[in-house]
Amino acid sequence: MKRMKRGFTLVEIMIVVAIIGILVGIAVPGFIKARRTAQGKSCNENLAKIDGAKEQYALENNLAADDATVLDDTVLVEAGNTGYLKKTPVCPGGGAYTYGTIADTPTCDKADTANNLHLLP
């Protein structure tokens, strides 16, 4: 009597691959949305820190609301500098920050008003 080897048939393997493909197709959009939301909320936090640093800088230097600010004023760049942030904030979504005057709120060029992301709350 001849012994038969046991294993998976081609049809069984194709079914498993199809099921895995369906699961990936369902999961990936959720992961992408979660990443986009996390990046937007992190950007919101950066904007709040920038705004607070601008306000602190204006208070300590008796600046008017329409005075312009530059990044070097609010960021600790050198050991001897009296900056208000430890490092330059970077938008995790790849956006660029605009600081404006003391009275202006900082903005990100990737602002998403529909989802309140990349905006100062």
Stretch (H or E) spanning 39:
helix 10-60
Looking at residue 73, its pLDDT comes to 60
Distance of CA 107 to the CA centre of its chain: 13
Looking at residue 41, its pLDDT comes to 93
Looking at residue 7, its pLDDT comes to 81
12 pLDDT above the threshold of 60: yes
Domain ranges in the chain? 13-108
- Summarize pLDDT for 19-76 with one digit per residue, the tens: 999 999 999 999 999 999 999 999 999 999 888 888 888 888 788 877 776 766 655 4
Looking at residue 80, its pLDDT comes to 55
Q: Which of these, 109, 90, 63, lies nearest to 73 by C-alpha position?
A: 63
- Summarize pLDDT for 74-104 with one digit per residue, the tens: 554 455 566 777 778 889 999 998 888 888 8
Stretch (H or E) spanning 97:
strand 97-98
